[in-house]
Structures are given as structure tokens and as C-alpha cells.
């Protein structure tokens, strides 16, 4: 069976179908050719893309970035390639589909679209010129540093606030070598890459000791695009002219590492920050706070680490694996860390040297080396001491360098009294032929220089301290660097039971055996070059061999303070030092008499007998034989024992004979004196010569009947620093004519230099009102004054009421000690600020029911208040706020 199918159409439709069929047939015949052409064009496009990308990569290596148009074009090429690859891969399948029934296939349209995109892509490749533009430079160049900054975070935050928030133009980071100043500056530099700011550029310049302004210009020029050959050939002045407008257009931060002296930045071409120019900042590091002053910078001290921070840094460098390898190592490691005294450079150097030392024996040996010969410890000499030595080398002259090295004779952590140190320098002859007054001024200036250079630390008033690592460096200099010239032997604080073998003393110039447990010195050493001998603080020392000094022809300074507390006896034969010895210090000893043979010490310039309480026999005509004496310290000698002085002692009669001998000392400039009678005091005050010398005065009136002393007379003691009054059993008043003072003087402060006052066992004395005229008092100690009712009496100002509103005593007071004053009711009649007070101690003052405090007294700082707990609980307060403010200050006596 079959069927007949018939199509009927008109001519137009037929013609259109025919055209389509014939066109499609032609397209199918050419499809293979089109695919070949497509593949060829695609290859050309990929080659063009590769050429473009090569140019882009080369440009980016030159700190340029690709234009956005180039990036768009590259993305379109990648898209075109993906589609074309699919079509070429599936070409044979598409040809099979393109039959009469499939002439409308979507793949036909895709092919035409691909060819169009290829054409557009080729046009883009030809039409788009690859013009990279220079990428914006980072604000700062990242500098390598440790990721953590143990102990420096607070300083980093402080400096950052100054840079981005406050109107501080110049900041000086100062501190001793190795403390972490450069590390801190590096973290400040890198922080500009992490935290957005308004600054355009951060410029880092290493200045160092060998200052070259040209180098500073070169480093600045590199950062601001002035570094081609033509600019390098310009003169210094021309470069400054070029730098000035460039930096003037920018908000910049200039970081200067390691300044040793003032740098004139305007000379370099740097516009200085000022009140008018707040768009720029300068931060520098230095070892001298003096440089901060000369640069008019806000100083920020970079201090050594606390014990906790030091341990954190040390264990970080040792490593936990080592610390956990032996149960004894942690405790030993903490001891090693303490030897570094918080100095980061030493902590890092020693910590890394001890990494992987995993036995307790190795750590114990390290402690021994650090305590006896630290320079032999691995890395300390080369890495630490040589870095610190730059500060030593930069000191002005050999005198200052000698004064610095002298400080290493004292033990670790020792508070060195400034005046005591200057006495030694004076005795050594460091100041030439200058008088003591000139030497004192020069000495304090040198101490200030050493503190500003961070080679000494200012601690308590009147004291300096040498950092342990700085001290080790100084000993290293004397032993390794300048051993032929300096010849130091330092065994201070070494725990010695006996003196080192004297055979090792032969070439020594300066020897320190301070702070040991030496009991006897029985050998006679040969020391032809010895200039200084320190035996201080050998408290058990009772015997020094007779003839000990006979082979020390050059000895100038002999210190034996705090030796032989029971009964020290000076050895026979000290007279051989007569032509050389210039300073003798036997203060704070149990010595009872001075031998006659000391008369031969005719070149003696300084004699220190302070606090020799058992000393009652000083032969007559002994003191007067010291014709070249400039400093005599006899403060608190024979106290409470003047009445025991024999007739052949200058102390007999309360010191009247002594005053007569002192009047004959032509060169005397500094005098600290103890007197045992009011009459002796009157003789002293009648001599303008002696009044000009007095620095400290101790009055022991146990056998005196004077009931009133005119304290106004003390006003003529212009340099009086210390006043002690003992056992004035009959003394009722230290009188002062307030009306006369006000009438004669523009301002009433007549005891400007008085710093310390002690009143002991003056049982009839009721007040110390004269102290209102001593504005610089730092210490007041009142003991066993049973009649004392007020320290400052309001009643004594009744005749001059206009003064009452202006008086504010104790502004500089640091220590107030009140013991056994059973009738004391008032310290002062109104609250006081006490801005410098550190401690107030009260004991046996049951009627003292109110302290001169209010809430304002605690604003500046808190201080310690010591006392019995029941006394504290009975105190009355100005108001509740005051009681709350001082509640945490109280520390009860145990």
C-alpha cells in the first residue's frame, strides 16, 4: 500500500527556500575553511596578548601599574579564546548537524559571534596603546625587624599619638646603647605601612657618629625622586634648594637613627616642624638627652626592661626546649637574665648564646663567668661592649673618660654619692690645680654629661648609679682596651673572704675590694703604681698589717669607710704616705682615735670622718698640720660622747679648741662639723671664713644649759645643707625673728640650701616653726621630743598675719619621720599639697589626730604612710574623699 504526499506553494516562497538552501549549502562547503581561518586568527590574537603582557610585566617591575583599559582587553581575550577553543574542538560535530533540516543551528550564530569578537579583539590589540603608569610608592620602605617588641609597646603608642594626633613636631627617643631605640624607630617606620595616615612619605636616614650632612641629603633625595646623576653632581647648597620645595609640598615624617649631636636640618633643606608647619614630623634616636634639648625635641626615654619583661625577652631567645630540658635550668636562667639588668641587647645576645645549653652545669658556669669576667662570655665583648663603647669614645676629653671609668670601682647597683665621687676625682688630680669649689662645679658638670649620655643613671637625690652592663663594659675597657694605661683591678662585691693574692697588685693603678667579707689584710704588697685603693664596706675588717702601705709610694686615694664596725685601728706606718696621699676616708667606722703619725700627711686635701661616733680622741695640732686641707668632713663624730673627750683631744670642751685650729687652715673650702657646746657654736658663727665653708652642722648639747638658740644666725650659713641637733635636754626654743626677716628681705626664704633636718632628744622643744623659711627641705626627722606640740606653730605668725596666707612649707619634702612625740597635735594648720613626698612615718604620736591632707594633696602623686594601725583608725579626715584617696597609702608597722 502506498500514499501520495503533495506540496503546493507559490513562486515567491519557492524562490526564498531555494536561496536559503543554496546559501546554506555554500556555507557548509566553506565551514571547514572557516574553522581553519578561525584557528589561525586565534593564534595571532594569543601572540598579541603575550606581547602586551610582556610589556606589562616589564613595566610593573619598574614600579608601574597596568592601565584599566589594558586589563579589560586582556580579560575579553581570555573569554574569546575559551569560546573559540570549544568551537574548534567540536567542529566536526557541528558540520554533521548543519544539514538541510538544521540550517538554523545555534552554532552557526555562535561562529559568526566568535568571528566578530575576534575582529573586535584584534582591533583592541591594535588600537589600545599599552601605556603603563607609575604605581604610587608606599609611604614607607618596610624595614626588617623582630615581629614582637617586648617592653616597647607603650613607647610605640606614645610616639604614635604624638605623630598622628598631637601637635608635636620633633620627638627624641633617648636611652643607653642597646636599650632598643633603633628597634622602636623601626616599628614606628613599619607602622606607617599598616595604619592609614595623612602622611605622603616616611624617610629613613641612618646618621651615626660620623655625621655627614651630604649623606642625609642623599637619603632624602632618593625618597623624593632626586637621585639622578645630574642632581648628585650638584653642590650641597644647591641640593638643599632642591629639597626644600619638594618636601614643602609633602606631609612627611623624617626618621633619623643614631644622632650624636645637633643636626641643622634647615641647612640640609628640611622645613622644620613648627606651630605654623604642622604637616611634617621629625623623630630621632640618640644616647644623649642633651641632643633632645639642642634639637628642641620632646624627649621620650627608652628605658631598660622591667624584671618581668626582661625574663620574657630572655626566654624567647633561649627557647622553651632548652628551658624545659632540665628542671634546674629555669631558676638558673632567671639568675642569668638578672645579670643583664634589663638591657635588651644583652638579654638577646646572652639568651641566644645559651640556647641549646641543656645542662645545669653549663648554666651555673655561665653565671660564674658573668659575675667574674663578663667580657669572656660569648658575644658580649664584640656584640655588646663594642656597641656601648661608642658612647665612651664620644665623651669630650680624657678627663671625662677617666671620671667615667672611675665609677666601675663601685659594686653593682651601688648608689654613688655625687659629692663622695667628686672628692675622689679631686684627690686623684683629675681637675688639675683647681680649688675644691672649681672642682665641684666641674665635677657636677661631668656627672651631668655622663647622665645625659646615658652612661650613668640619676637615682635618689645626690646619687648616681652605673648600669650593670655599662659597668662591665667599663671594666672591659680598663682590662682589654686600655689595660696598659688604666690598670684596674676590680673585685668589688665579689664575696671575697680574704684579699686577692698581692702578687697580682704589682702593676695595678686602681684597686677596689669594696663590699666583701675580708677580715684581715696580713700581707705587704708591692704597688709602685697604685693611685687608688677602695676597702669600703668590709665590715668585718679589723686588722691591716703594720707596714701595709710602705711600698705604695704613689697612693693618692684611700677609702676605708664602713670597715671594722667594732673597733678598727689604723695600721702603723701610714706616715709613709705623707708625700702622696690626698684623700683619706675612714667614715662610718668604729675608730676611736687618730694616731699622731697622721701629722705627716702634709699633702692631704680631703679628710672624711663622717659618722665616726666612737671617735673621741683627735690629737691637738693634728688637724692644723693638714695645711693643704680643702675638705674636712667631721659631721656626727663622737656624738653623745663629747663629754668623754680627753684633754689632749681637740674635741675637749665641746669643740672650742677645734674651731681655733680650723681658723688656721688657709685653703679650707668645705666643712662638715660637730660641736658639743653652744659657746663653740657662737665662736664658729663669729668667723666669716668658717661660715662660708659650712655644709653640714651637728650640734650635741648634752652638757649644755642653753635654753634658747637664735636660729636667725643660721641664715648666714649660705651653704648649710644638713642640720642635726642631738640631746638638747634644756633647749626650749629655736628662735627666729619673723618680723625682722620680713622687714629686711624681699622674700623670707633664708635657708635655701637646707635639705635635711634631724632633731633628736630635745625634750623641751615645742615647735620648729623656723622650718617654714627652708623651702627646699627634703627630709625632716623628729625623734624623742616629748614636749613637741606643733611642727609649724600658727601662734608665732600672730604679729605678721599677712604672711599666713602665703606660707606653704614642705613643698619639696620627700621624707617625714615622726617618732615618740607624745604631745604632737599638729604638723601644719591647713592641708598641704606634698607634691614630692615619698614617705610619712608616724610612731608614738598618739595625740596627732589629723594630718595636713585633703583630696588635693593626692592629686599629684600617692605616697606611703606608715604607722600603728590603731593610730590610723583614729585619724580624723578633712572629708570622706580625702579618706578614700589615702586609704590605699597606709602600711601598718608589723
What residues does 675 pair with on adjacent strands?
A: 699
| Interatomic CA distance for residues 500 and 516, integer angstroms | 11
pLDDT digits (tens, 9 = 90+) for 721-763: 999 999 888 999 998 876 666 666 555 668 889 999 999 999 9
Do 271 and 158 reside in the same domain of the chain?
A: yes
Tell me what pLDDT residue 202 has.
94
The tally of domains found in the chain comes to 4
Place of cell 620645595: 245
Tell me what pLDDT residue 124 has.
47
Tell me what pLDDT residue 94 has.
55
Comparing CA positions, the residue from 199, 297, 207 lying closest to residue 259 is 207
Instruction: State the cell numbers at 101.
Output: 533540516
Residue 143 within a domain: no
Do 321 and 355 reside in the same domain of the chain?
A: yes
Do 276 and 312 reside in the same domain of the chain?
A: no
Comparing CA positions, the residue from 407, 485, 386 lying closest to residue 451 is 407
Q: Considering the entire predicted model, what is its pTM?
A: 0.78
Instruction: State the cell numbers at 300.
Output: 621620650
Do 315 and 294 reside in the same domain of the chain?
A: no
Residue 296 within a domain: yes
| Interatomic CA distance for residues 477 and 389, integer angstroms | 8
Between the two ends of the chain, the Cα-to-Cα distance in Å is 132
Tell me what pLDDT residue 626 has.
96
pLDDT digits (tens, 9 = 90+) for 805-853: 567 789 899 999 999 999 999 999 889 988 889 999 999 999 999 999 9
Residue 498 within a domain: no
Residue 583 within a domain: no
Task: Kindly list the distances between the CA atom of residue 864 and the CA atoms of 545, 867, 887, in Å, as whole numbers in the listed order.
Answer: 48, 10, 10
Sequence-distant (6+) residues with CB within 8 A of 558 are 533, 535, 577, 581, 583, 584, 585
CATH number for 439: 1.10.10.10
Do 221 and 187 reside in the same domain of the chain?
A: yes
Give residue 150's region: left, alpha or beta (phi > 0; psi -120 to 50): beta
Do 254 and 351 reside in the same domain of the chain?
A: no
Do 344 and 210 reside in the same domain of the chain?
A: no
Task: Kindly list the distances between the CA atom of residue 694 and the CA atoms of 211, 416, 672, 689, in Å, as whole numbers in the listed order.
Answer: 47, 22, 6, 9
Residue 630 within a domain: no
* Of the residues 266, 284, 301, the one at which a domain ends: 301
Place of cell 635635711: 756
Positions of the chain with pLDDT under 70: 1-38, 42, 45, 56-70, 73, 87-136, 275-276, 482-484, 566, 738-749, 797-806, 858-861
DSSP string, 39-80: HHHHHHHHHHHHHHHHHHHHHHHTTEE--HHHHHHHHHHHHH
Do 330 and 410 reside in the same domain of the chain?
A: no
Residue 159 within a domain: yes
Cα 650 to chain centroid, rounded? 48
* Of the residues 483, 516, 539, the one at which a domain ends: 483
* Of the residues 301, 321, 351, the one at which a domain ends: 301
Do 77 and 177 reside in the same domain of the chain?
A: no
Residue 115, CA atoms < 13 Å, CB-side half-sphere: 11
Do 89 and 217 reside in the same domain of the chain?
A: no
Query: How many Cβ atoms from other residues are within 10 Å of residue 575's Cβ?
Result: 16
Do 410 and 447 reside in the same domain of the chain?
A: yes
Residue 493 within a domain: no
What residues does 734 pair with on adjacent strands?
A: 709
Dihedral, 510, 514, 519, 521 alpha carbons, nearest 10:
0
| Interatomic CA distance for residues 352 and 345, integer angstroms | 11
What does the radius of gyration of the chain's CA atoms come to, in whole angstroms?
43
Do 311 and 296 reside in the same domain of the chain?
A: no
Which residues form the domain of 405?
Answer: 382-483
Residue 645 within a domain: no
CATH number for 228: 3.40.50.300
Amino acid at each position: 500500500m502506498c500514499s501520495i504526499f503533495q506540496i503546493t506553494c507559490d513562486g515567491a516562497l519557492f524562490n526564498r527556500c531555494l536561496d536559503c538552501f543554496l546559501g546554506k549549502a555554500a556555507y557548509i562547503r566553506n565551514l571547514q575553511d572557516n574553522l581553519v581561518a578561525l584557528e589561525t586568527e586565534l593564534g595571532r590574537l594569543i601572540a598579541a596578548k603575550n606581547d602586551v603582557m610582556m610589556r606589562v610585566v616589564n613595566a610593573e617591575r619598574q614600579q608601574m601599574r597596568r592601565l584599566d583599559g589594558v586589563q579589560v582587553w586582556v580579560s575579553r581575550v581570555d573569554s574569546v579564546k575559551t569560546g573559540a577553543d570549544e568551537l574548534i574542538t567540536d567542529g566536526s560535530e557541528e558540520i554533521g548537524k548543519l544539514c538541510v533540516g538544521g540550517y538554523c543551528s545555534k552554532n552557526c550564530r555562535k561562529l559568526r559571534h566568535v568571528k566578530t569578537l575576534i575582529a573586535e579583539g584584534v582591533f583592541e590589540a591594535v588600537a589600545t596603546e599599552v601605556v603603563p603608569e607609575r604605581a604610587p610608592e608606599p609611604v614607607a620602605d618596610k624595614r626588617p625587624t623582630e615581629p614582637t617588641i617586648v617592653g616597647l609597646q607603650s613607647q610605640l603608642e606614645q610616639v604614635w599619638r604624638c605623630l598622628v594626633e598631637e601637635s608635636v613636631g620633633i620627638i627624641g627617643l633617648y636611652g643607653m646603647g642597646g636599650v632598643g631605640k633603633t628597634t622602636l624607630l623601626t616599628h614606628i617606620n613599619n607602622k606607617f605601612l599598616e595604619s592609614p595616615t595623612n602622611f605622603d612619605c616616611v624617610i629613613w636616614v641612618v646618621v651615626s657618629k660620623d655625621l655627614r650632612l651630604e649623606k642625609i641629603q642623599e637619603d632624602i633625595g632618593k625618597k623624593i625622586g632626586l637621585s639622578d646623576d645630574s642632581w648628585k653632581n650638584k653642590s650641597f647648597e644647591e641640593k638643599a634648594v632642591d629639597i626644600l620645595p619638594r618636601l614643602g609640598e609633602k606631609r612627611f615624617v623624617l626618621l633619623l637613627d643614631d644622632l650624636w649631636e645637633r643636626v641643622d636640618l634647615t641647612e640640609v633643606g628640611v622645613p622644620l616642624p613648627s606651630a605654623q608647619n604642622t604637616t611634617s614630623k621629625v623623630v630621632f634616636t640618640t644616647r644623649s638627652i642633651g641632643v633632645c634639648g639642642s634639637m628642641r625635641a620632646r624627649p621620650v626615654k627608652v628605658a631598660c626592661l622591667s624584671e618581668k619583661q626582661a625574663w620574657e625577652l630572655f626566654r624567647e631567645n633561649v627557647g622553651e626546649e632548652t628551658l624545659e630540658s632540665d628542671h634546674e635550668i629555669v631558676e638558673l636562667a632567671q639568675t642569668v637574665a638578672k645579670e643583664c639588668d634589663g638591657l635588651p641587647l644583652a638579654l638577646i645576645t646572652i639568651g641566644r648564646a645559651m640556647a641549646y645549653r641543656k645542662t645545669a652545669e653549663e648554666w651555673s658556669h655561665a653565671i660564674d663567668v658573668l659575675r667574674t669576667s663578663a667580657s669572656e662570655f660569648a658575644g658580649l665583648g664584640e656584640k655588646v661592649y663594642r656597641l656601648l663603647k661608642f658612647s665612651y669614645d664620644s665623651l669630650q676629653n680624657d678627663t671625662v673618660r677617666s671620671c667615667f671609668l672611675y665609677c666601675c670601682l663601685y659594686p653593682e647597683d651601688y648608689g654613688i654619692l655625687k659629692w663622695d665621687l667628686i672628692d675622689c676625682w679631686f684627690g686623684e688630680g683629675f681637675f688639675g690645680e683647681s680649688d675644691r669649689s672649681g672642682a665641684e662645679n666641674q665635677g657636677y658638670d661631668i656627672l651631668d654629661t655622663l647622665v645625659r649620655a646615658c652612661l650613668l643613671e640619676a637615682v635618689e637625690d645626690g646619687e648616681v648609679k652605673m648600669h650593670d652592663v655599662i659597668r662591665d663594659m667599663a671594666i672591659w675597657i680598663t682590662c682589654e682596651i686600655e689595660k696598659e694605661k688604666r690598670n684596674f683591678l676590680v673585685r668589688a662585691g665579689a664575696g671575697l673572704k680574704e684579699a686577692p693574692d698581692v702578687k697580682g697588685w704589682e702593676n695595678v693603678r686602681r684597686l677596689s675590694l669594696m663590699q666583701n667579707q675580708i677580715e684581715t689584710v696580713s700581707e705587704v704588697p708591692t704597688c709602685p703604681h697604685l693611685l687608688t685603693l677602695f676597702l669600703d664596706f668590709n665590715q668585718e675588717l679589723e686588722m691591716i698589717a703594720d707596714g701595709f702601705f710602705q711600698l705604695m709610694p704613689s697612693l693618692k686615694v684611700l677609702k676605708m669607710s664602713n670597715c671594722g664596725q667594732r673597733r678598727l685601728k689604723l695600721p702603723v706606718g701610714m706616715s709613709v704616705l705623707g708625700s702622696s696621699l690626698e684623700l683619706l676616708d675612714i667614715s662610718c667606722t668604729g675608730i676611736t682615735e687618730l694616731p699622731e703619725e697622721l701629722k705627716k700627711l702634709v699633702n692631704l686635701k680631703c679628710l672624711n670622718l663622717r659618722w665616726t661616733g666612737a671617735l673621741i680622741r683627735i690629737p691637738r695640732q693634728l688637724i692644723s698640720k693638714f695645711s693643704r686641707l680643702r675638705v674636712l668632713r667631721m659631721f656626727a663624730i663622737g656624738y653623745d660622747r663629747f663629754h668623754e673627750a680627753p684633754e689632749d683631744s681637740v674635741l675637749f670642751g665641746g669643740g672650742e679648741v677645734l674651731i681655733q685650729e680650723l681658723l688656721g687652715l688657709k685653703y679650707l673650702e668645705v666643712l662638715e662639723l660637730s660641736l658639743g657646746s653652744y659657746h663653740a657654736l657662737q665662736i664658729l658663727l663669729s668667723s666669716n671664713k668658717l661660715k662660708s665653708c659650712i655644709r653640714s652642722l651637728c650640734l650635741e648639747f648634752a652638757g649644755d644649759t642653753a635654753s634658747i638658740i637664735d636660729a636667725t644666725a643660721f641664715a648666714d650659713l649660705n651653704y648649710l645643707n644638713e642640720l642635726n641637733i642631738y640631746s638638747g635636754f634644756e633647749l626650749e626654743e629655736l628662735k627666729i625673728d619673723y618680723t625682722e626677716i620680713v622687714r629686711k628681705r624681699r622674700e623670707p626664704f633664708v635657708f635655701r640650701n637646707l635639705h635635711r633636718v634631724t632633731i633628736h632628744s630635745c625634750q623641751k622643744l615645742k615647735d620648729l616653726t623656723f622650718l617654714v623659711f627652708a623651702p627646699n627641705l627634703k627630709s625632716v626627722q623628729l625623734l624623742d621630743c616629748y614636749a613637741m606640740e606643733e611642727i609649724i606653730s600658727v601662734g608665732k605668725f600672730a604679729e605678721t598675719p599677712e604672711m599666713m596666707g602665703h606660707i606653704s612649707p614642705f613643698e619639696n619634702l620627700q621624707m617625714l619621720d615622726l617618732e615618740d612625740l607624745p604631745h604632737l597635735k599638729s604638723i601644719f594648720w591647713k592641708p598641704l599639697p606634698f607634691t614630692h613626698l615619698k614617705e610619712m612615718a608616724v610612731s608614738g604620736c598618739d595625740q596627732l589626730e589629723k594630718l595636713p591632707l585633703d583630696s588635693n594633696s593626692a592629686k599629684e602623686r600617692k605616697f606611703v604612710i606608715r604607722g600603728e594601725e590603731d593610730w590610723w583608725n583614729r585619724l580624723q579626715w578633712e572629708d570622706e574623699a580625702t579618706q578614700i584617696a589615702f586609704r590605699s597609702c597606709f602600711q601598718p608597722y608589723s
